[in-house]
Amino acid sequence: MPVTPGSHKLVLTHADFKDLTTQVTIDRGETKILDLKLEPSGVTSKWWFWTTLTVGVLVVAGGVVGLVYALTTEKSPDTGTIPPGQIKTPLTF
């Protein structure tokens, strides 16, 4: 691809790789071949990784808070006012 002589900033981007930026100087009539290697971006640079991690942390934290609340606010059952034994109630069939 022909370009004007001088200094040029070259930026390579791809969704699955880290962006690569380099500076290239071209003289009049010069041809340059660049051997550039893109580095894989890894899973931690994906939006869905952080979203899933955040939602997971919130769900676990909510469960822990709920469990702590349930375990610390439990009271003894009331003794009630009905004497032990059988109670006669009307039956409907």
pLDDT one-digit tens code per residue, 1-56? 778 899 999 999 988 888 999 999 999 989 889 999 988 887 777 788 889 999 99
Residue partners of 9: CB distance under 8 A and separation at least 6: 21, 22, 23, 24
Q: Assign 93 a pLDDT band (cuts: 50, 70, 90).
A: low
Asked if the model's pLDDT at residue 86 lies above 80, the reply is no
Q: Which amino acid is at 67?
A: L
Instruction: Enter the tokens of residue 87.
Output: 């109670």
In this prediction, residue 44 carries a pLDDT of 76
d(CA 13, CA 21): 9
d(CA 59, CA 57): 6
